Structure 1
Amino acid sequence: MSAPELSSLWDEHMLAPYPSGFRGVDIAGVELILLDADVAGLVQRELHGGLDDEGVAILWGCIAALDKALPLIGDDYCATYYAHLRTMAEHVAARYLPAAT
Structure 2
Amino acid sequence: MSESAGQVQTAGRLWQEHRQAPFPDSLRRAKFEATDVWLLDLYTAGCVLAWLNNDGTLDAENERILLSCIEDLDRAIPEIKDPAGAQYLQRLHQLAVLVSKNLASTR
Higher-helix-fraction structure: 2
1:98 shift after superposition: 5.4
User: 2:104 aligns to what SS in structure 1?
Assistant: coil
Q: Which structure 2 segments of 5+ residues have no match?
A: 1-5
RMSD of Structure 2 on Structure 1 (CA): 1.5
Separation in 1, partners of 2:80, 2:61 = 28
Separation in 2, partners of 1:75, 1:68 = 15
Question: 1:75-90 counterparts in 2 under 5 A?
Answer: 75-90=82-97
1:97 shift after superposition: 1.8
Q: Is the 8 A contact 1:30 1:69 kept in 2?
A: no
* TM-score normalised by structure 2 residue count: 0.85
User: 1:80 aligns to what SS in structure 2?
Assistant: helix
Separation in 2, partners of 1:39, 1:84 = 11
**Count of residue correspondences:** 99
Tell me the residue number matched to 2:103.
96
Identity of aligned residues (%): 33
Question: 1:3-22 counterparts in 2 under 5 A?
Answer: 3-22=8-27
Matching of residue 46 in structure 1 with residue 63 in structure 2 = no
* TM-score normalised by structure 1 residue count: 0.89
